[in-house]
Amino acid sequence: MNMRLTSSPRSGDPSWARSENARSRFGLVSRAPAPSGESTEPAKVRLHDICLSYRSQTGEQFPALDHINLEVNTGEFVCVVGPSGCGKSTLLHLIAGLHRQSSGEIWFAGTPVAAPGTDRIMIFQEHALFPWLTVGENVAFGMKMKGIQRREREERTRYYLRLVHLAKFEKSCIHQLSGGMRQRVAIARALATEPDVLLMDEPFAALDAQTRDILHDELERIWVETGRTIIFVTHNVREAVRLGDRVVLLTFRPGRVKSEFPIDLSRPRHLEDPEVAATARQVLDQLREEINQSLEAEYAAVIKPKIEP
C-alpha cells in the first residue's frame, strides 16, 4: 500500500509559505487522496492518441511516437522507461510545449497545451545553470523574469535553498559546487517558479552511484513536502521503481505504451530493498524484449563486409 509522507508548517518558513492560502498554492498542505473513481478533478496531464513523425533527408516519414495515451494525476510521481530511441525525452518535450506532435492532443489541467509555460518546468541531465551568477541568483532568475518583487524573490530563494540543503551556499559560484549540488540548485530554481509539474529528463544519469542515491532521498523528500506532480524519464529500471508511484514502459520505435506498473510499495524505499528489486525484475523482463528488438534493428541495418573464401 502506498504511503504518502506529509509535512506540517515549520516555524522557519517565510510568511508567504506559512499562510494557508499560500501553502495550498505551493502544494504544502497535506491532502488525503480521493478514493479511486470518486475524484472529479481532471488529470493534471492527459495525452490522447499522440503521434509524432520526423521527415528524413530523403523525404521519408520516420515515426517516433505512435498513439500514446497516458494520464498523470495531480501529485503523482510517474516514471517512464524504455529502450534508447523510443521517444521518452521527446514525450517530455511535447508535454512542456517545446515541440508539437504530428497528431493527437495534450491537455494540462483541462486546457490544451499550445506553448511552453511556467506551470511545466523541464529539468535536464545537464543542470543548465548560469556560471556567471551565484547560486542564489540562479534560483531567483526565473522569478525575476516573471516580475516577482525583489523581497519575495529573496524569501523564496532562501526557502528553496533550505529545502535542497544548500542554504549556506547562496553566495557561492556554480563552479565551486559538486555535480550533485548543481542538480539540487537546478531543482530549487525549478520549484521557485511555482510549477505544477516537474518534467525530469534523466537528471541523475551523469552522477556517481553514491550521489545518485542521496539525491533519490532528497527528491522524494521534496516531492512529499511540495506535493508537485513529477514525470521522470530514466533508463534505470530500479531507479524508476524506487521513486515512482507508477512506471510506464514504452516500446522500441515507434514508442507506444506497452505496459503500466503501479508500484504498490510503502515509502520511503531504497534501491537495495528486496521488494524494489523484485518489482524492477518484472519491469525489466518486459523491457528486455524491447531492447532485443532495438539490437536486432541495429544489426539488420549494418552492412556486413564481404569475406572472400
Residue after which a domain boundary falls, among 147, 169, 194: 194
Cell 494557508 locates to 20
Predicted pLDDT at 243: 96
What gap in Å lies between CA 27 and CA 70, rounded to an integer?
A: 23
Amino acid 10: pLDDT:
41
pLDDT of the residue at 58:
79
Regions of the chain with pLDDT less than 50: 1-13, 15-16, 18-38, 309
pLDDT in tens, 34-72: 344 445 577 999 999 999 998 877 778 888 999 999 999
Alpha carbons 309 and 290: distance in angstroms, whole number: 36
pTM: 0.82
* The 257-262 sheet, strands edge to edge: 120-123, 197-201, 229-233, 77-81, 246-250, 257-262
**Amino acid at site 35:** P
pLDDT of residue 140: 94
CA distance 75 to 256: 24
Q: Do 281 and 141 have their domain in common?
A: no
Containing structural domain, residue 242: 41-119+195-300
201 and 275 belong to one structural domain: yes
In a domain, 91, yes or no: yes
* Tally of domains in the chain: 2
Q: For the chain, what percentages of helix, strand and coil (3-state, to nearest 5) are there?
A: 40, 20, 40
Query: For residue 243, what is the domain's CATH number?
Result: 3.40.50.300
- Is 191 exposed, middle or buried, given 0-12, 13-18 or 19+ CB atoms closer than 10 A? buried
Does 200 share its domain with 283? yes
Q: What was the pLDDT predicted at 237?
A: 96
What tens digit of pLDDT does each residue of 206-218 get? Answer: 888 888 898 999 9
Q: What does the pLDDT read at residue 71?
A: 96
CA distance 243 to 182: 20
Measure CA 269 to chain center: 18
Q: By three-state DSSP, how is residue 211 classified?
A: helix
Whole-number pLDDT of residue 206? 83
Same domain, 101 and 243: yes
